[in-house]
Amino acid sequence: MSRIEQIINEIEEYIDSCKFQALSNSKILVNKEELEELLVELRLRVPEEIKKYQKIISNQDAILREARTQADAMVAEATAQTNELVNEHEIMQRAYSEANSIIEQAQAQAQAIVDGAVTEANNIRQSSVQYTDDMLGSLQGIIKHSMDGAQGRFEAFMSSMQSSFDIVSSNRNELAGSVIREPEAEGAPYMGGEAPME
């Protein structure tokens, strides 16, 4: 922003800050000296700004010539770079093709390594599962054999006990016919044999 624009803004702000004249909405009271100072500075600045713009206008041809020179230099540089790129295009195409081939080979090798690792991991997992199942099968067989042996021994024990029980019962029954029991006094202690019926 130029000083002239700043002064104009200051004048506008000053006018906005002034009080209205009594009984009026359009007339204001201004400080004549303060306003004149701003106007004097504005008059002094205007010629300087005009001279600066005139100088710019007078130098317009030189500025345009410099701009054209810079533009021509940029065009020449761009043309040279384009020619160089055109010459290098075939080399770049071969380089890109070779780079893509290398990338494809590397990706194929990487995929083969990953596939091999997955297969090996699956084989190890399957072997682990099979080994665990075999061990559990062996343990299951041992437990089954132990259960069968215990069941057989228990049944033989029960059979032997039943036989002994039957023999004892038979002997008692034989004795029961030859034993004469005297009436027991009320409250007499129980001496063995079958418990009295209540």
pLDDT tens track, the chain, 198 positions: 677 788 888 888 888 888 888 888 888 888 888 888 888 888 887 777 777 777 777 777 777 788 888 888 888 888 888 877 777 777 778 877 888 888 888 888 889 888 888 888 888 888 767 867 777 776 677 777 778 888 888 888 899 999 999 999 988 888 887 766 666 555 555 444 554 444
* 108 found inside a domain: no
Cβ–Cβ < 8 Å for 38, 11: yes
Range of the domain at 25: 3-58
For the entire predicted model, the pTM comes to: 0.33
Q: What residues are paired with 29 via a beta bridge?
A: 19
Residue labelled with tokens 């021994």: 153
Residue 44, domain member (yes or no):
yes
Indicate whether 122 belongs to any domain.
Answer: no
Token pair 């030859």: residue: 178
Burial class (CB in 10 A: 0-12, 13-18, 19+), 197: exposed
Whether residue 52 is contained in a domain is answered as yes
Helical residues (DSSP H) of 18-59, grouped into ranges: 32-58
Does residue 107 fall inside a structural domain?
Answer: no
Number of helical H runs and strand E runs in the chain: 3, 2
Q: Which of 30, 50, 37, 32 is nearest to 7 (CA)?
A: 37
| Domains identified in the chain, total number | 1
In a domain, 31, yes or no: yes
